[in-house]
């Protein structure tokens, strides 16, 4: 399901908060990235551009760490990086909350029977 960018009364943090599963949150993140133009993505420093594909909740967390690390070690004040890091920090907070609600055996995939 593709979501439109939030309306003026509905923000991206609202959309993130409405996700009820980690998989749904991955979809929200993909929609957020799709709302950026190629020009906006290419204007980001190379080490801050999003991965080609976000497939798993862990991809969200790893990209967030890369953004924050870049912000901490760079002396540039890039509004695009700040905007991306702000969204992904909130997405990481939400995905960790959702993953904490998943049954432990479900988080590790199907059980193997011996």
Q: What is the pLDDT of residues 6-64, one digit of tens each?
A: 656 789 999 999 999 999 999 999 999 999 999 999 999 999 999 999 999 999 999 99
Residues 6+ apart with CB under 8 A from 2: 31, 34
Give the position of tokens 């912000």.
71
Secondary structure (DSSP) of 15-79: HHHH--SHHHHHHHHHHHHHTS-HHHHHHS-GGGSPPS---SHHHHHHHHHHHHHHHHH-----H
Task: Give whole-number Cα distances, 64 to 9, 48, 60, 113, in Å.
Answer: 26, 9, 6, 36
Q: State pTM to two decimals.
A: 0.80
Give the position of tokens 């199907």.
110
Which of the four pLDDT bands, split at 50, 70 and 90, describes residue 110?
A: low
């Amino acid at each position: 399901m593709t979501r439109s960018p939030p309306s003026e009364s509905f923000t991206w943090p609202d959309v993130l908060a409405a996700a009820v599963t980690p998989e749904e949150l991955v979809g929200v993140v993909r929609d957020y990235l799709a709302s950026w133009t190629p020009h906006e993505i290419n204007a980001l420093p190379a080490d801050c551009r999003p991965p080609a594909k976000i497939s798993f909740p862990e991809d969200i967390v790893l990209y967030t760490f890369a953004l924050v690390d870049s912000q901490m070690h760079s002396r540039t004040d890039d509004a695009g990086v700040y905007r991306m890091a702000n969204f992904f920090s909130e997405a990481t907070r939400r995905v960790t909350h959702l993953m904490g609600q998943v049954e432990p055996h479900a988080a590790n995939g199907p059980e193997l029977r011996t």
